[in-house]
Structure 1
Amino acid sequence: MAMKQDLELVSVTKRYGPTIAVDAISHKFRPAGYACLLGPSGCGKSSTLRMIAGHETVSDGSILLGGTDISDLAPAKRGTAMMFQNYALFPHLSVTDNVAFSLKMRGEDKSARLKKAGEVLELVDLSALGDRLPDQLSGGQQQRVALARALITRPQVLLLDEPLSALDPFLRIRMRGELRKLQRELGISFVHVTHGQDEALALADEIVVMNNAVIEQAGSARDVFNAPKTAFVAQFMGGHNVIALPKGRFAIRMDEVGLSQSEAGQLQGSILAVEYQGAHVSVLTRIAGDQEISALVPEGVFFNNPFNPGDQVGLIWDDAKLHKLTA
């Protein structure tokens, strides 16, 4: 098992000419944790990952691994390895030779590199396919080859750039489980860039939400989901309403909002849309001031007492479930 090494960003900035892609972010990742950098396109998450990998230069600040500044080291000398979104496999090389390629570049002899390639292929459950070419593999198998190729260098930190985006939904969920299991078995830090909230919640010990080149909020998956600090985080993570009340702006989970047929309730509104979602029914309402509030009503509860677009309803919640926002 690799020694646990702390990865830390200290006032890391990335400029492209006059554009600031990453603006003086500082964050210490949990050692041997699974972290997801989460945010919309253009928020700076991929630039941050590429700076950690050494594929982008750092304009200002430092990247520390195990207390050592790795900002100016070549990618191969950092103790990190990157798995790319498009897998970037060599089509003319076998699976085994693809996995062993970086060791060949380092000058390791053939028997040593084939032995190591065999070990990592076993780890990702591809031992039987070592002689195949990439185009003879499924998308999920190609991804595991890319993973094995990144892991053969025994990195202290594995960097993953939207690794599941090319897979179909069923395979994506299966691969999430495999990545999580692998991270626990290896005991090394994974830093995974995604714009999918469900992916981040399913995988991460720690979610780092980025917006407009800065870190908007970081914490455990449950903390970031249940206690968003800003309206952006509440809305981006999904599952929340942001409500402007006389005492300020608050977030409340959609499944904490109930509906009453009377005018009773904290607020009154009219129903705009009703959408059946299986276990829940999503009811979108509009209240005074053109604010929209969604309630996720358990399916059984809704159909015992159904509502239709145009109905006037009261919106009910426990005030203890309101979460004050700072921005």
Structure 2
Amino acid sequence: MSNQDLELVSVTKRYGETVAVDAINYRFKSDSYTCLLGPSGCGKSSTLRMIAGHESVSDGSIVLDGRDISVLPPAQRGTAMMFQNYALFPHLSVLDNVAFSLKMKGVDTAKRHGEARDMLALVDLTDFADRLPDQLSGGQQQRVALARALITRPQVLLLDEPLSALDPFLRIRMRGELRKLQKELGISFIHVTHGQDEALALADDIIVMNNAVIEQAGPARDVFNAPQTKFVAQFMGGHNVIALPDGHFAIRADAVAVTAPTKGAVEGNVTAVEYQGTHVSVSARITGDQDVLALIPDTTFFANPHNPGDRIGLHWDASNQHKLIA
């Protein structure tokens, strides 16, 4: 492991009697894109803000490049944070917004503007240097905020729900730009989101948080394909959690087939059918008042359609049953 990795060592955050982050441990790889994922109030934003230095650490330490940065002010940590609302100065040009942190460090005008233009070229905004923020689209404002964070040459870029203010089409486009930028720069990006699709699209590694602790962490594909707990399986989506005699199992919805009731099938009644373009979502209630979701390719479904109230058979291969540990 590189000594440039960022490591959380028993990091805890308390607000009075409330424990927002409870003694979490994690090592972020120095050239990876990591998403902190979880519902509101799980501790992910508090974790990001502690790394940035915008929240104090109640217990534990944050180590970057072999030194404890948890006692340092934000500007001395080797991190930079891009805020959810971008926090651009409305009266400054794009160029001066990007160059602002260098101005605060006393860098002369020519040098800081030169570096700011390099950053604007990196985010493809060279032609917008003289505009004011309110003359830009949401996506362009986001790229200005990125350039402003990156001009400090951080070892770690922290992103607090950076796509939430964008419309769905632009959000998808910006995902690609963030991913491309991280690979070009070769630094660690740590991105807070509550969107499972966003995390899967962006992340090398996903940390799923719940109730102030890390519920599961690892490569994005592993977290999705092999959830360890009922919470992770349900929160990541795309899985059924079913109680069987020998425990709880996660079964991917796209691994469930639907037929007429047959011997060996799990029988259920259709409760909802929803067309989703490439797939049709079929929900059914089985014994024990358990709900099972099947995602059926649209051509397969419409060759033999089912409607709410129909009795159906549900099939899945035993190899697609993933046993949960909690």
TM bin (shorter chain): over 0.9
Amino acid at match of 2:257: G
Tell me, in whole angstroms, the C-alpha distance in 1 between the residues paired with 2:129 and 2:263: 67
Tell me, in whole angstroms, the C-alpha distance in 1 between the residues paired with 2:11 and 2:40: 19
Q: 3-state SS of the aligned residue for 2:306?
A: coil
* Residues 283, 295 of structure 1: 8 Å contact kept: yes
Q: 3-state SS of the aligned residue for 2:262?
A: coil
Tell me, in whole angstroms, the C-alpha distance in 2 between the residues paired with 1:203 and 1:153: 23
Q: Displacement of 1:263 after TM fit?
A: 3.2
Tell me, in whole angstroms, the C-alpha distance in 1 between the residues paired with 2:251 and 2:288: 18
Q: Displacement of 1:268 after TM fit?
A: 1.1
Q: 3-state SS of the aligned residue for 1:289?
A: coil
| Aligned residue in 1 for 2:50 | 51
| Aligned residue in 2 for 1:271 | 270
* Residues 4, 32 of structure 1: 8 Å contact kept: no
Q: 3-state SS of the aligned residue for 2:227?
A: coil
Query: Percent identity between the aligned chains?
Result: 75
Amino acid at match of 1:57: S
Tell me, in whole angstroms, the C-alpha distance in 1 between the residues paired with 2:249 and 2:263: 20
| Aligned residue in 2 for 1:155 | 154
- Counting only pairs closer than 5 Å after superposition, residues 1-327 of structure 1 correspond to structure 2 as 5-327=4-326
Q: Displacement of 1:137 after TM fit?
A: 0.5
Tell me, in whole angstroms, the C-alpha distance in 2 between the residues paired with 1:6 and 1:40: 26
Amino acid at match of 1:94: S
Amino acid at match of 2:239: H
Number of residue pairs the alignment of both structures matches: 325
Amino acid at match of 1:78: R
Q: Displacement of 1:4 after TM fit?
A: 7.9
Tell me, in whole angstroms, the C-alpha distance in 1 between the residues paired with 2:28 and 2:77: 16
* Residues 33, 206 of structure 1: 8 Å contact kept: yes
Q: CA RMSD in A?
A: 0.9
Q: Displacement of 1:264 after TM fit?
A: 2.7
Tell me, in whole angstroms, the C-alpha distance in 2 between the residues paired with 1:9 and 1:55: 16
Q: 3-state SS of the aligned residue for 1:216?
A: strand
* Residues 4, 187 of structure 1: 8 Å contact kept: no
Q: Which runs of 5+ in 2 are unaligned?
A: none
TM-score (norm 2): 0.98
* Residues 120, 148 of structure 1: 8 Å contact kept: yes
Amino acid at match of 1:91: P
Q: Which runs of 5+ in 1 are unaligned?
A: none
TM-score (norm 1): 0.98
Q: Displacement of 1:266 after TM fit?
A: 4.0
Tell me, in whole angstroms, the C-alpha distance in 2 between the residues paired with 1:277 and 1:70: 47
Tell me, in whole angstroms, the C-alpha distance in 1 between the residues paired with 2:107 and 2:85: 27
* Residues 4, 188 of structure 1: 8 Å contact kept: no
* Residues 242, 249 of structure 1: 8 Å contact kept: yes
Alpha carbons of 1:192 and 1:4: their partners in 2 closer, same or farther (altered >3 Å)? Answer: farther
* Residues 48, 158 of structure 2: 8 Å contact kept: yes
